[in-house]
Structure 1
Amino acid sequence: MGRSMAEGEQTGRGGQGVPGSLAHRVPDLGAMELLLAVARLGSLGGAARELGITQPAASSRVRSMERQLGVALVDRSPRGSRLTDAGVLVTDWARRIVEAAEAFDAGAQALRDRRDSRLRVAASMTIAEYLLPGWLVALRTQLPDTAVSLLAGNSATVAARLLADEADLGFVEGVSVPAGLDSAVIAHDRLVVVTAPGHPWARRRHPLAASELAATPLILREKGSGTRQVLDAALGGLARPLIELSSTTAVKAAAVSGAGPSVLSELAVGEELTNRRLVSVPLADVTLARDLRAVWPTGHRPTGPARHLLSLTRV
């Protein structure tokens, strides 16, 4: 009982240490493929050419494999290379391992193909309506076989979809990154105060004070929307909404109709400001700027089509 079991487990034939990991004891796939090529072609040089390596590199790899296994595998002569008896046996084992690796690779490719066949995107309303269409057109030129589905909602909904694994990539507009998500800034935006031309604010000679805006009932998006979050944080609170609507388009239509003032993304009202269906009201004391972000579950950086889309959105 002179040696402990642990010592015995670390000692192999001849008293030499045997590492515990298979990776240290079993040749790699490249070496096995080389041995199979030598067996098939009867030539180390021919095997090297088939695998796209030099003959010295092939010889070095065979010698390394022989040292690793502790047996001679190939007899070399001017007439070619011949497997030893041990080499024939090792080649048979290697063939089974390479076939299993090929099956593994085919299965992994099938998983990638299934992943790449679809892309599920969740986006807050402004991004979904005014930025994503252009990005998705560009994506289609790169990945024409990928089917894309888009869920538009507020920033809270986007976060919930991602965390429930119901979306592969999300886009939000809020003041902070929702819990459980990582993010990257992909664009910048500014909120503007707008009214119909007939509203008294459209004829103001001086900028609107932030305190007056905060105290005025506005046409607003619902709670949980990025626009509402940014506005509430910038003004330190808001009056009870005049009307609360669930889409940017609906809020804009209500403002155009003259129902009351609103605060909307500059991206959303460019056309209406140009044709004077809406008027921008200058705001004093505060700038309503915000970052637009791509988001994904923490620790799971986008891959496949989601990664392609993310690359198209960067500022």
Structure 2
Amino acid sequence: MTLIPAVPRLQALAALEAAGSFSAAAAALGVSQSAVSQHVAALERQVGAALVDRGARPAQLTPAGHVLAEHARAVVARLDAAERDLLDVLGRQERRLRLGSVPTALASFVPGAVARLRAELPDVALTVVDDHVQGLLPRVRERELDLAVVFTSSSAPDQVSDLEVVPLFDDAYRVLVPTGHRLAKTDRSPSLRDLREESWVGGAGGSTWFRVVRDACRRQGFEPRVGVVSDDHVAVQALVAAGLGVAVVPGLAASARVRGVTARDLRGPGPVRQLAVALPASDYRTRATTRMTELLLRATRARR
């Protein structure tokens, strides 16, 4: 007897985990509550284990249910992607493009590329998602996004190893200091080591952008003394302007500066991140996905 159940049953379990109740899962799937209950009960009989704690409110999956629901999401996403690609090849589907982007790219070169795509392919239904790398990459893997503008670095070389990556350009980090700071009053570019005794405005514990900075500082023999944290680059600049510390941020994040902040290039070896387009590993690309990638490359040509 196979333990791999039918797709509608997997869809029901995944929807139940996401929605938290049988009625909400039914509404999300467009079926009756009884159909969801029957699918989940059939799953439990098939695997020979309880998948849902029915005494909990909202509904909670058991450990076995969580394991199966995780795989269910991946299976359903791949089947949805297969259907979309097939209908696209056959010309039977409204064309659409789901683009993700890290905030600094979305605030700089991405809008121009998106505008050109809309002018060239006006019949494409376009969705743009603004998120950080750690939120975008799983959605590319699960094919919830057709492509995403992300950044990579030597600090996390494996984070895109299972995806197709199209490099765009290197984005060197810059240092931000309050306008009245000693480093703002000299033309000499500071090095990372010049900042070792400073108080820093840094990123939160899981910040991918700040991990690049921290690793570069460690290679220079010191740990940045972070006093305030934020993952919003505008907020980081405001905190620097208020005199709460210095910051080292991606070049794109330093391009639009808040009043009271001076930006300086870093002298010597400093942190660098690589902007890139990440796509699901696949032999098939829709015309819209291919053209969006080309337009992003064109938009960043001068930066390369």
Identify if the C-alpha distance between structure 1 residues 282 and 256 changes in structure 2 by more than 3 Å, giving closer, same or farther. Answer: same
- Residues 121 and 168 in structure 1, CA contact (< 8 A), matched pair in contact too: yes
Q: 1:274-305, CA deviations, whole angstroms, 9 ceiling, x for partnerless residues? A: xx642123533313333210011223564231
Answering whether residue 176 of structure 2 is matched by residue 194 of structure 1, we say yes
Among candidates 241, 247, 255, match of residue 270 of structure 1: 255
Query: 2-side partners of 1:197 and 1:141: how far apart?
Result: 42
Quote the residue 2:127 is aligned against: 149
Among candidates 286, 290, 300, match of residue 269 of structure 2: 286
1:130 alignment partner, SS class: coil
Quote the residue 1:312 is aligned against: 295
Quote the residue 2:286 is aligned against: 303
Identify if the C-alpha distance between structure 1 residues 164 and 231 changes in structure 2 by more than 3 Å, giving closer, same or farther. Answer: same
Q: Which moved more, 1:240-249 or 1:140-149?
A: 240-249
Give 1:309 shift.
0.6
2:257 alignment partner, SS class: helix
Give 1:254 shift.
2.4
Identify if the C-alpha distance between structure 1 residues 123 and 208 changes in structure 2 by more than 3 Å, giving closer, same or farther. Answer: same
Give 1:166 shift.
1.5
Q: Structure 1 unaligned runs (5+)?
A: 1-106
Identify if the C-alpha distance between structure 1 residues 171 and 132 changes in structure 2 by more than 3 Å, giving closer, same or farther. Answer: same
Q: 1:212-234, CA deviations, whole angstroms, 9 ceiling, x for partnerless residues? A: 43564422234554422332332
Query: 1-side partners of 2:261 and 2:92: how far apart?
Result: 48
Answering whether residue 217 of structure 2 is matched by residue 232 of structure 1, we say no
Query: 2-side partners of 1:295 and 1:110: how far apart?
Result: 22
- Residues 127 and 171 in structure 1, CA contact (< 8 A), matched pair in contact too: yes
What letter is aligned with 1:294? V
Q: Structure 2 unaligned runs (5+)?
A: 1-85
Within-5 A mapping of 1:211-230 = 211-214=193-196, 216-230=198-212
1:241 alignment partner, SS class: strand
1:298 alignment partner, SS class: coil
Among candidates 93, 97, 105, match of residue 114 of structure 1: 93
- Residues 215 and 238 in structure 1, CA contact (< 8 A), matched pair in contact too: no
What letter is aligned with 1:267? L
Give 1:108 shift.
4.3
Q: Which moved more, 1:123-132 or 1:198-207?
A: 198-207
Quote the residue 1:20 is aligned against: none
Query: 2-side partners of 1:255 and 1:114: how far apart?
Result: 49
1:255 alignment partner, SS class: helix
Query: 1-side partners of 2:88 and 2:283: how far apart?
Result: 20
- Residues 214 and 224 in structure 2, CA contact (< 8 A), matched pair in contact too: no
What letter is aligned with 1:190? A
TM-score, structure 2 length as denominator?
0.59
1:292 alignment partner, SS class: strand
Quote the residue 2:144 is aligned against: 166
What letter is aligned with 1:219? V
Identify if the C-alpha distance between structure 1 residues 166 and 233 changes in structure 2 by more than 3 Å, giving closer, same or farther. Answer: same
Identity of aligned residues (%): 22
Q: Which has the larger radius of gyration?
A: 1
Give 1:243 shift.
2.1
- RMSD of the TM alignment (CA)? 2.8
Query: 1-side partners of 2:283 and 2:226: how far apart?
Result: 38
1:166 alignment partner, SS class: coil
Query: 1-side partners of 2:251 and 2:229: how far apart?
Result: 19
2:270 alignment partner, SS class: coil
- Residues 219 and 261 in structure 1, CA contact (< 8 A), matched pair in contact too: yes
Identify if the C-alpha distance between structure 1 residues 285 and 143 changes in structure 2 by more than 3 Å, giving closer, same or farther. Answer: same
Among candidates 243, 247, 256, match of residue 228 of structure 2: 243
2:152 alignment partner, SS class: coil
